[in-house]
Amino acid sequence: MKVKITDVIPSVRLPAGRVGKYTIDQFEVNEMDAVTYNLKQHLHDTPEMGMIPGTYTRLWRQDETPVVMMSDTLSERRDHVDFVLSAWGDVLINGLGLGMCIDPLMEQEEVCRVTVVEKQQEIIDLVAPTYCRRYPKRFRIVHADAFLYEPEECPDVVWNDIWDTISDLNVPEMDTLEAKYEEAAWVDSWARERCENFVDFVKARIEKWDQIAKNLRLLQENGRFVDSSD
């Protein structure tokens, strides 16, 4: 039976706000935005990353240029479904972000407690108060580095989500965190498979676009492609 993503992980319920260089806001995706975005995903052979029109929430960091760290679009929610459905007992999450999994985890009676470890105090100040008020007995936030934090007891389920982007460079850190909690009943890291296959993915995309460029040149040379700049 196919799982409906929105039934497992609903939209994030967080107020807009800013602390330091971190901001939470809502953004709209209209029908044309969704069509354009989905066309790009099909060209990249990643239709599962598609978008539907709606209002979404995002967390972004103000660097030299703004960096979106996380959003609650369907593609991002999809990445967390296996974790939420596998959770039980004492759950540890490395990386707070929007806290997207906290609400659905708290709806599960088999989840006793959720502990989130977050390195950035500004993100804690921006996001954590909402969940502390919502779940005062079962939610706990810890200000610490995920690689240095040592829980008193090994949690039952561990989810590592401390990375902003998909890259093969994330894999060694994933290995370290997963080895650290090897005694847990279930442990995994965000987008691990895509990170492991990142180099091959990029090579395949380059080869595909090279072939498209070659085909366009052939069409132009054969007189069946008109350059609009002429």
The predicted structure's pLDDT at residue 226: 47
The predicted structure's pLDDT at residue 77: 94
Q: What is the 8-class DSSP label of residue 170?
A: G
pLDDT tens, position by position, for the chain (230 residues)?
567 888 999 999 999 999 999 999 999 998 888 787 767 766 666 666 678 889 999 999 998 889 999 999 998 999 999 999 999 999 999 999 999 999 999 999 999 999 999 999 999 999 999 999 999 999 999 999 999 999 999 999 999 999 999 999 999 999 999 999 999 999 999 999 999 997 676 666 666 666 666 777 777 777 655 444 44
The answer to whether 53 touches 31, Cβ cutoff 8 Å, is yes
CA angle 162, 123, 121 (to 5 degrees): 100
Which residue matches tokens 């005062």? 136
For residue 50, what are its two tokens? Answer: 């598609």
The predicted structure's pLDDT at residue 64: 87
Contacts by 103-112 with C-beta closer than 8 Å and gap 24+?
Answer: 103/10, 103/12, 103/13, 103/134, 104/8, 104/9, 104/10, 106/134, 106/135, 106/138, 106/139, 108/84, 111/87, 111/138, 112/138
Helix (H) or strand (E) holding 127: helix 121-134
pTM of the model: 0.83
Domain 16-195: CATH superfamily is: Vaccinia Virus protein VP39 (3.40.50.150)
The answer to whether 80 touches 5, Cβ cutoff 8 Å, is no
The predicted structure's pLDDT at residue 183: 97
CA atoms within 13 Å, Cβ hemisphere of 123:
22
